[in-house]
Amino acid sequence: MEPKQGLSRLGPGTLLNSTVAVSIVVIFMAMIASPLANNNGGSTTSELRVPVWERAGLPYDVTSDFGSVLEIGPYEPLATQNEWNSTHVFVEYELPLSEGGAAATGPVISLAYWRPDVPEGVQVPVIAEFGPYFQEPSVETPTIEVPGSWLGQMIVDQLLPHGYAFAQVSVTGTGRSNHCMDLMGFAEQEGVNAAVTWLGEQNWSNGAVAMIGKSYDGSTPWQAAMYGNEALKTIVPISGLIGVKELMWRNGSAEARAPIMHNGVYGSYGIDGDEEDYQNICPDYLIGPGTGVSAWMFGSEVFGDYWAERYFLDRVIENYRGSVYLIQGMHDWNVDPHMAVPTMNRLIDAGIEARGLFGQWDHDYPDRPEQLDDRSELGGWGGEAFPEMVRYDWMQDLHEWFDYYLKDIGEQPGQWIEVQSNLGQWRLEDRYPPADANEIIFQLGSDLSLTDGGLTVLPDTTTGPTWTSEPLTEDLQIVGTPRLHVEVQTATVGGQLYALLESCDGTTCIHVGHAIMDLRYHEGGDDLQTWVAPFESITALMEFMPLDAKVPAGHTLRLSLTSTGMDYLPASTSSIVTVSEGEGSTLQLDTVNLDDRRLFDPPTCLHERCAAAE
């Protein structure tokens, strides 16, 4: 790929006004990207910035508790009046009076930032993390002026020295930000956008802002991207939400936390006994519990727009002009991987420059061997992919990504998806799910034989049929979102099916994937369906959660149906469901041939946890 030319991605007004000042910027940007001999053995920058499949031989520290950059930057944090070298400000913005809370008195966002000590006149880009966890009594975190131990400290230690500012921002109703805890609603979105604008407009900023974070903090980047804010050049959502309802409902079926998410999980945020606690009495905070229960009862949003207001992806596709580095754990049970798949392909199809990193971890960062080990279990829950899942090169990845999209330095990072299979192997894909996958169809009752239970699924969470295939004659590399189309009859208009797909070696089976569906949504999507029960048959068009799994030759596939499973609630319209075998009931698997793919091994983890797993 050709090195990027010019500064075309930076908006007007982001460069210094005089020719002399521009020359200074060029000189010091070159210094920031220059090779440094502290820990790279004298290698040049070009020798260190290689494609992912060539990184295994580079001098990464593969024994530490997290990843690191290969180049040590020349700058120290700019000293301030506190011991953490940070500066705190309140960013003012406006809300309509209908939002209640602080709308009438003046909403503000609490923001702390760190700057590198660069020569006077040199402007720098900003990397920012937005979320509810800074200086929040509910989770006992320190003042926002202290970099977060989960991510902020790493950015201050490793990326700030390369000429980046860093900011931590409290969303509405959390920390020292006033108004109410809006759970990603309109008020929160407005505050996020205002803070992005503020960071891009400071005289020390070059006008280029990136957002990064995990979980809730990985969802705020999607909020900001909806606005098409010119300052927002790139986002790095790590297990973030493209929509709040989409997180907790799947084809009408609800997770256990779904009805209570707003007030049950985040209801205490912003309530700390001071005189501003009354500001939590805003409309969406009050209706939050009712909308959750209503969505569980009906399977979707039937009244109002509470959930529609909290769906981000369509507006991102319409308005955003920056780039996306999307990171997702394929075994994340907090933020399921359907937040990233097929989101990745929607970004690509919209012309958004995007990259993906999809590993077999849970709700984690890619480079933390202790956490990855603790939260990965054998039996098909990530354990088989440890320690290969540990990505010690991730911080270097971020460094190269931000250099290109915030400073216009270096070659464009690869626009691909790095995918790890359930047994540990990494490879590259142009799209995910891949466009060239081969579909294999198994018919229930013939290709899959009934081996346990009858054809009736009772609403007791345990009773239902199990089908098993003959031993496979060759390896199957299953990718993306398999489908289960099953013809059923229900005793009443309702019912729910939970499908579990396993790979079995004799009597030892491991999880491959699972699917859930409220049968009122048997055609998929958000539209309620009806039928004449018990006389009319329907076909449930179930889709599995995204997965990437190798089923070795000699293993069998086992498919089970029950009324619910894992952390999903029973349906509000529980019913007896009878399954029909035959051509109307099929398991459809998408597969790829790994001989057609570029496989690679990341830097080998030698941490004590990794050594113990070998």
DSSP code of 448?
Answer: B
Q: Is the pLDDT of residue 496 over 70?
A: yes
DSSP code of 4?
Answer: P
The answer to whether 289 and 260 have CB atoms below 8 angstroms apart is: yes
Interatomic CA distance for residues 36 and 70, integer angstroms: 9
284 band by pLDDT with thresholds 50, 70 and 90? confident
Burial class (CB in 10 A: 0-12, 13-18, 19+), 421: buried
Mean pLDDT in residue range 607-611: 97
Q: Is the pLDDT of residue 36 over 70?
A: no
Query: Per-residue pLDDT tens for 431-463?
Result: 999 999 999 999 999 999 999 999 999 999 999
Which fold would CATH assign to domain 438-591? Jelly Rolls (2.60.120)
The answer to whether 598 and 284 have CB atoms below 8 angstroms apart is: no
Q: Is the pLDDT of residue 24 over 50?
A: no
pLDDT, position 32: 37
User: Measuring CA to CA, which residue among 305, 252, 320 is closest to residue 542?
Assistant: 252
Q: Is the pLDDT of residue 215 over 50?
A: yes
Instruction: Quickly list DSSP for 366-405.
Output: TT-HHHHHHT-BTTTBBGGGTTTT--TTHHHHHHHHHHHH
Residues written for the chain? 614
Query: Per-residue pLDDT tens for 356-368?
Result: 999 999 999 999 9
CATH number for the domain running over 19-429 = 3.40.50.1820
φ, ψ for residue 76, nearest 5 deg: -95, 160
DSSP H or E run through 607: none
Angle between helix 186-201 and helix 216-225 axes, rounded to 10 deg: 80
The answer to whether 517 and 577 have CB atoms below 8 angstroms apart is: no
pLDDT, position 258: 79
Q: Give the pair of three-digit tokens for residue 112.
A: 């702390």
Beta-sheet strand order (sheet of 124-131): 87-92, 108-114, 165-170, 124-131, 205-214, 232-238, 323-329, 354-359, 417-420, 426-429, 599-600
Tell me the pTM. 0.91
CA 353 to chain centre: 17
- Per domain, the residue ranges of the chain are 19-429, 438-591
Instruction: Spell 357-390 as b/e; 16+ CB within 10 A means b.
Output: bbbbbbbbbbbbbebbbebbeeebbbbbbbbbbb
DSSP code of 196?
Answer: H
pLDDT, position 271: 66
How many helices and strands (H and E) does the chain possess?
A: 13, 26
Is it true that 19-429 and 438-591 share their CATH fold?
no
Interatomic CA distance for residues 495 and 613, integer angstroms: 43
Three-state SS string across 98-160, please?
Answer: HHCCCCCCCCEEEEEEECECCCCCCCEEEEEEEECCCCCHHHCCCCCCCCCCCCHHHHHHHCH
Instruction: Quickly list DSSP for 245-300.
Output: HHHHEETTEEBTTGGGIIIIIHTTTT-SSSTTGGGG--HHHHHHHHHHHHHHHHSS
Q: Is the pLDDT of residue 12 over 90?
A: no
Interatomic CA distance for residues 495 and 101, integer angstroms: 41
Average pLDDT over the chain reads 90
Q: Is the dihedral of CA 199, 200, 204, 210 positive or negative?
A: positive
Q: Give the pair of three-digit tokens for residue 513.
A: 């994937």
Q: Is the pLDDT of residue 14 over 60?
A: no
pLDDT, position 272: 66
User: Measuring CA to CA, which residue among 535, 528, 549 is closest to residue 422?
Assistant: 549
> How many other C-beta atoms can be found within 10 angstroms of the C-beta atom of residue 552?
12
> How many other C-beta atoms can be found within 10 angstroms of the C-beta atom of residue 9?
19
Q: Helix, strand, coil: what percent of the chain each, to 5?
A: 25, 25, 50
Interatomic CA distance for residues 561 and 461, integer angstroms: 9
Interatomic CA distance for residues 390 and 98, integer angstroms: 47
